[in-house]
Amino acid sequence: MSDLQLIQSGTLVLCSTDIAAPPMTSVVDGVRFGYEPDLGRALADHLGLELQWVDVRRWSDFVPTLTEKRCDAILCNQAITPDREEIVDFTLPYGRFNEGVVVRTDSPIHSAADLVGRKVGAITGTTNIALAASFTGAEVVEFGSGDDAFHEMADAAVDGTIDAFVDDEIVLPALEATGKLRVAFIAPTGNPYGVAVRKDSDALRTSLNEAIQHLIANGTLAEIWNNNFPTKAFPL
């Protein structure tokens, strides 16, 4: 694997986050759990590489961390979009994810039609912003300047600063478990998520694609999915 041009020889350095977003990713007492950490370990094992994680807290810092060669790839909620493909390259998808709109448990909002005249939050630079902007009559409120925009946004919904917010469906049950928030409705966007690499990392992308294909073919990726999302059908 010497031709992969890794920033550390023999080690795959992946960019993620230590912000809790189970079952996608979370870190407890220094141990990393979730679908993406499990996938990262499987990819490194298949490639015969050691694995190291670099944590980023602000969404806007992910791509600079990659392009400045502080990591080899981003494995953290990166939907494959045309805008992002102008800056980075992506592997094959390792999952497809819908988006959801979250409100306070006592909110009268149950559909997109109920968002007219409402403040709808989303994290800057994400596909969630595009969905929020698509709701007719809604006022989009962007989050992202802080180190934990996800939970800042949730807190804003609880205290009434915003009326609703958009995020990926897969991380929303943990918010509902607080008893303060509920999912108003799901948007079946089915966004494909991929591992992001630098534009000059063709060999690494090819190797990661081969690894993803192998994990799909032998059932490992489906097993990882089912362990983390037992109520969701494996989408690949």
* Identity of the residue numbered 75: L
User: pLDDT digits over 182-223, tens only?
Assistant: 999 999 999 999 999 999 999 999 999 999 999 999 999 999
Token pair 């298949």: residue: 46
Residue 1: its pLDDT value, please? 52
Residue with token string 């559909």 = 111
| pLDDT score recorded for residue 148 | 86
In CATH terms, 2-94+194-228 corresponds, of 3.90.1150.10, 3.30.1330.10, 3.40.190.10, 3.30.1490.480, to 3.40.190.10
Q: How far is CA 186 from CA 54, 110, 145, 148, 228, in A?
A: 31, 10, 26, 23, 19
Beta bridge partners of 164: 120
In this prediction, residues 148-152 reach a mean pLDDT of: 89
Domain ranges of the chain: 2-94+194-228, 97-190
Q: What was the pLDDT predicted at 106?
A: 97
Q: Do domains 2-94+194-228 and 97-190 have the same CATH topology?
A: yes
What is the CATH architecture of 97-190? 3-Layer(aba) Sandwich (3.40)
pLDDT tens digits for range 138-149:
999 999 866 788
